[in-house]
Structure 1
């Protein structure tokens, strides 16, 4: 039940105008008993690849390599005819994506939403256990959780999407401050509230809570990714990226 906010820039007004980066905020919900490594270079065979590593399966929740970034959110869906022992980890999807290989066919994984950024383009690839769909995000501010992009049926999107749209992301260090202020406002809700972004999903039947967040700027020149961890899972504290 992670949450991602992504702002896709409009095309430059003329050929001489600078290219504005894609900006992204991602909040990770996971079982705190499942070990992970913070943002870093955990894959010796791929120098320059950075990510938040799942230590059990060796994959990544979020990763970046050159001008490509990918982050994965769980969604409902189970591939037909694939038993529990035959399922593959979704973490490998992120590593393949930043290497240039987007999901296709019929993955042997549970359902997912995959946000992919390549330079100044952003797409969402979704797998519901039956088919893969792919949507290129138009310029603007988009929000994604466990269903569809900008889905007003998702309470946290209905509650906070407009606030993220209104918040500024000015150039320079700390561009994320207004988005983090929206996160802080959202954290006044009980973490089990369906509208909450900083979450405790135990009352909903899932052992996952919000653990950490990343912010990123992605352009053709590369990705600048920052990491911050909550002091206590599911409980808000000011984040320093």
Structure 2
């Protein structure tokens, strides 16, 4: 139940694509922070899922990709991990056919375009190219008003300069982390063992990608931003 906010600039504008991502995961699942963890993928930096070897978010010098879980599962006995899809997206590897993972939203951003690939397990994946403006995606469709946190906060992010998005994120913590509107979340009352663990911000230029991250002081708890770059 992660959350991503994206600002897509107008065509030919000098601004980069901007991204804010909040990772929700089971705190007991081992992971490593943003770093160059994959010897076979030089130049790739990402947040490593130690259990499966993939990434929640990863970037190279031209692109960033981040994966969000959503409902849906294929008719296979043991779904494969979704984290490899992030690394494959950076390498330009097409999605497997057939897909054998649980449902997902895969965000891919370069300095020229942003697309979201969605898979619910019951139909071919759909691809949406995002137009100029501010967008949010979580566990349903992009900008989906059925998602309480999108309905509550999309306008606030849209009205803010991306340099102020961490302040907007801090303001969202006025609601309890178990509230459906929360972005910094505790999903356990909703039947999932996941809490917000990490915040990432990125600027995606035509000639490079800058990513900064911050591990939250405790799962589901907000604190001063203190972002670091790997």
Sort the TM-score into its range (normalised by shorter chain): over 0.9
Q: Quick check: 1:188 aligned with 2:174?
A: yes
SS in 1 for 2:149: helix
The corresponding residue for 1:141 is: 134
CA distance 1:56–1:179, change in 2 (3 Å):
same
Aligned residues: 226
TM-score, normalising length from structure 1?
A: 0.91
Give the alignment's Cα RMSD to 1 decimal: 1.0
TM-score, normalising length from structure 2?
A: 0.96
Task: Choose from 112, 119, 126 the match for 1:120.
Answer: 112
Spell out, residue by residue over 1:6-47, the C-alpha distance to the aligned partner (whole angstroms, 9 max, x if none): 0001012xxxxx632100000000000001000000011222
The corresponding residue for 2:23 is: 28
- Cα deviation for residue 103 of structure 1 reads 2.4
Q: Distance in 1 between matches of 2:61 and 2:93?
A: 14
The corresponding residue for 1:129 is: 121
Q: Is the 8 A contact 1:87 1:109 kept in 2?
A: yes
SS in 1 for 2:193: coil
Q: Distance in 2 between matches of 1:30 and 1:161?
A: 22
Spell out, residue by residue over 1:71-103, the C-alpha distance to the aligned partner (whole angstroms, 9 max, x if none): 0000001102x01xx211000000000111242
- Cα deviation for residue 67 of structure 1 reads 0.8
The corresponding residue for 1:4 is: 4
Q: Distance in 2 between matches of 1:8 and 1:120?
A: 9
Spell out, residue by residue over 1:106-132, the C-alpha distance to the aligned partner (whole angstroms, 9 max, x if none): 310000000001222000000000220
Q: Distance in 2 between matches of 1:6 and 1:153?
A: 18
Q: Is the 8 A contact 1:192 1:203 kept in 2?
A: yes
Task: Choose from 84, 98, 117 the match for 2:90.
Answer: 98
Gapped regions of structure 1 (runs ≥ 5): 13-17, 170-174
Task: Choose from 33, 37, 45 the match for 1:42.
Answer: 37
- Cα deviation for residue 63 of structure 1 reads 0.3
Q: Is the 8 A contact 1:123 1:137 kept in 2?
A: yes
Q: How does 1:1-241 map to 2 (within 5 A)?
A: 1-12=1-12, 19-80=14-75, 82-83=76-77, 86-103=78-95, 105-130=97-122, 131-169=124-162, 175=163, 178-241=164-227
SS in 1 for 2:86: helix
Q: Distance in 1 between matches of 2:198 and 2:112?
A: 25
Gapped regions of structure 2 (runs ≥ 5): none
SS in 1 for 2:177: coil
